[in-house]
Structure 1
Amino acid sequence: MAKIEEARSLSQQSQQVTLSPKIPSPIVTTALPVSAPMAEPHAPSPAVVASTSASVPVAPISFVPRRRETLPFEDSIVSAEYPDVDSPTPPKWYSDIKREQLQSLRVPAAVEEHLNKIQSGMNRCKEKALKHVIPNAADFQMINEGIHRAFFLDLTAMTIRKKFLLHNNRGLPAIFRFDVVDYPWYLKEDAAELYIKWWSKDTDPSLFRGIRLGRAKNSRIGRDSTVDSLDPKYAGRRHGNFFGNGHLRNGQWWPTQLCAVRDGAHSATVAGICGKSGVGAYSCLMSGGSYPNIDKGGEVWYYGTESDDPSHPTDSTQHLIENSKSHQPVRLLRAAKMTTQGANDYRPAEGMRYDGLYEVAGYEIKNLAKQVHLFHLVRLPDQGPIRNSGPEVRPTPEELAAYEKAKIEKKFLA
């Protein structure tokens, strides 16, 4: 519960980008052009200014449903495909459900309550916008709370269809794409994330869906396993061997690195840099390590890995060197347990968070004998702010509550 209170206190902080620290003169540097300036927080619209005064709700732990052991046939995940959120179209499974199939469906009251927060809030905002009235903080907060709870509702694919939640004009796309309301940017991000999850027919509310938890009996070693692993039968797994955002949203959060691997944000269960030789790095994770990174939000100084060969860097380090030459941006994730020089306001309260795309602007070799490289990463412009404070903070209180409940129930060992 302490972490939930920390999330509440984070909402009182303002997002700032501080000046870069001085870095010692490099031993070796790349001759690269100056990269684009770091991203500045977007100037908020009047509607967004109104919404930022709302306090972050703290959800009770009791609302989180138990982990699903099995799914009904009609709720089986279709595939790991994802929609084009710029031009959303309802998935086939959704369009194939007939009205007569929904007539006798009864939505549980607890589910109905939070889904209605989304739809009622949207209706109120739209009514005001049509009258040229700016929606207030309470209107946005109602939708915000409804969306955050919706990730953990024990609902079905039929319920999603009955409530029109993937309809372009009445459902989630009306928030992030189609509606007349200028919704806050973070509402658009979270609505799009939920849309992508449900579009894939993923209705499992568990943080650890698709994960074989470490306390499961391991027949090979004859005792309980102490390591979580990916479930090879899970149809919703996505792979992280791509450049750019792909299906990921700014601020998307996971309780463990394995969960981030499951959703294709990263590719390695332990390593901090993921990529392909000759191509470059796709993603890097700021976590614990022997060398403390420097984190200034829009700018990061990130250490590669030590090499046993003084004449050649490790493959992981080489991946980032390739990015510095190609200018292909890398996805950056921050972990709660990351080690950095000095205080850090950007780390998530728990787990790990996706904070957008960074360009590898240059590097220097800090230890030639061990081929330790220090990379300068600069956040690309035209991305939403890092979600470390305010009403947009991730993890949300609901995510922290679900994580806390999982730890209390000792459902995993991470």
Structure 2
Amino acid sequence: MRREGRRISQGKYLVSLTSTLTPATTTTRFAPLRRRNDPTRKTLLELTLARESIERLLTTSKPTHIPDLRDRLHRLPWLPHLTPQILDSSRLLSHFLPKLLSASDKLVPWDLKLDAKELLNKWKSGDLSGDPLRGVTEPSSGGRGRGFDSSWPYARSCNVPGHNGLVVGQWFPLQITCVRDGAHGEMEAGIHGTKTHGALSVILSGGADNTGSEYEDDDLGSSIFYCGTKNSKNDGVATRATQYLLDAEKKKGVVRVLRSAKCGSRYAPDVGIRYDGLYRVTGKIPMGEEREAHYRFTLVREEGQPPIRCAKDWEGERRPTKYERNWRAGEGKMLGMEM
């Protein structure tokens, strides 16, 4: 029977006594004892608690350990002062998170696996920052909005079809961070694409088109009726954004669908923007007069994907997590999580 590890102080070192699966074999590991004012101390503690929570669930197979593990995973993306050395020593990246992903689906809930995969993808890329706005510059005093930090090395291209390294439920505080992570390609517009692929991603955010008319979108969850943009010149030529959707409809292509809190749908996140998976553009109907080149497109969610993580009555699978919601509520300050 596995026993929990015990940690005691011996002079300059912190001693970790942890038995393996066989009680007869006990290993002793030494790590430098961190001073209380060391900024990495709490980060080390969070990593240790997460690792131990994974071990408890996998060794006991008791579902009572799931809520604690879920909370531990939700805290990890926010860690400050995380370095490659600290992460390597925790073995979360090399051993414990992969072990969690390979465990039985009956033991580890699907939302836990998604959150673990998102974290694994981020850390494997080398991105260890706990700042939700990493790689994004602050608005300038001259009135210019946020931009991109040219020195940020982990930006991902948005011109790749499919999931593009994202996991269903991945959350973004602002649209510019969707662009940073390759989920979308427009700082403000809701449709992104290329001439080669057609539409690659859309954001459901409500609002009005370029003529001031409200979009007649209809979000049914697994299917969406999504409006392109009107041609304000009334010359019968589709706008660039609408043409991307027309090309995708012709090819029966798939697009990444993101929902913004602004879209007003029951499937929308409370705050920010959430990636909800791949939808296929299966058809269109004309809207208004022919000279407006305005269409409403039918998008159908691809089968075999995880559910949309919008449950309002259960905290577990919901995204954004409570820490993500608290960050937005605090306008950039973490509430309810002292780090």
Give the TM-score of the pair, scaled to structure 1. Answer: 0.66
Shift of 1:305: 0.6
**Alignment equivalent of 1:208, drawn from 109, 133, 140:** 133
5+ residue gaps, structure 2, are 1-29, 209-213, 335-339
CA distance in 2, matches of 1:296, 1:114: 39
Residue 319 of structure 1 and its aligned partner are, at CA, apart by 1.1
- TM-aligned CA deviation for residue 116 of structure 1: 2.9
**Which of 257, 264, 267 is matched with 2:175 structurally?**
257
- The Cα shift of 1:147 comes to 1.1
- Which amino acid letter does the alignment assign opposite residue 373 of structure 1? Y
> Is 1:386 aligned to 2:308, yes or no?
yes
**1: CA distance between counterparts of 2:45 and 2:68?**
11
Match of 1:162 among 73, 89, 99: 89
Per-residue Cα deviation, 1:306-333 (whole angstroms, up to 9, x for no partner): 1124322111111111111212210000
Which structure exhibits the higher relative contact order, with contacts defined as CA atoms closer than 8 Å and separated by 6 or more residues?
1
8 Å CA contact 1:165–1:171 kept in 2: the answer is: yes
Is contact 1:281–1:330 with CA below 8 Å preserved after alignment? yes
- Deviations for 1:53-83, whole angstroms, at most 9, x for unmatched residues? xxxxxxxxxxxxxxxxxxxxxxxxxxxxxxx
Match for residue 296 of structure 1?
220
- 2:170 is equivalent to residue 244 of structure 1: no
Equivalent AA in structure 2 for residue 347 of structure 1: A
Structure with more strand by fraction: 2
Tell me which residue corresponds to 1:370.
292
Per the alignment, residue 328 of structure 2 pairs with 403
Alpha-carbon offset, residue 370 of structure 1 = 1.4
Q: Distance in 2 between matches of 1:164 and 1:315?
A: 48
How far apart are the structure 1 equivalents of 2:309 and 2:196? 33
Cα distance in 1 for residues equivalent to 2:184 and 2:129:
21
Matched residue, 1:231: 149
Check if 1:354 corresponds to 2:275: yes
- TM-score, with structure 2 as normaliser: 0.80
2:43 maps to which of 108, 111, 129:
111
Alignment partner, residue 66 of structure 2: 140
Shift of 1:179: 6.7
Bigger-Rg structure (1/2): 2
Q: 1:190, CA displacement in angstroms?
A: 0.6
Counterparts of 1:9-408 in structure 2 under 5 Å? 104=32, 106=34, 108-129=40-61, 135-136=62-63, 138-154=64-80, 155-167=82-94, 170-177=95-102, 182-214=107-139, 216-217=140-141, 223=142, 225-287=143-205, 288-289=207-208, 290-307=214-231, 308-338=233-263, 344-367=265-288, 368-389=290-311, 390=314, 391-407=316-332
| Residue number in structure 1 paired with 2:8 | none
Give the distance between the partners of 2:58 and 2:156, measured in 1 at CA. Answer: 35
CA RMSD of aligned residues (A): 2.1
What is the CA–CA distance in structure 2 between the aligned matches of 1:105 and 1:281, rounded to whole Å? Answer: 53
Shift of 1:403: 2.2
Aligned-partner residue type, residue 124 of structure 1: R
| Count of residue correspondences | 289
Give the AA of the match of 2:283. Answer: G
CA distance in 1 between partners of 2:196 and 2:122 (Å): 32
Deviation string for 1:65-122 (max 9, x for gaps)? xxxxxxxxxxxxxxxxxxxxxxxxxxxxxxxxxxxxx954848442233323322222
Q: Alpha-carbon deviation of 1:249? A: 0.4
CA distance in 2 between partners of 1:239 and 1:251 (Å): 19
Give the secondary-structure state (helix, strand or coil) at the position aligned to 1:171: helix
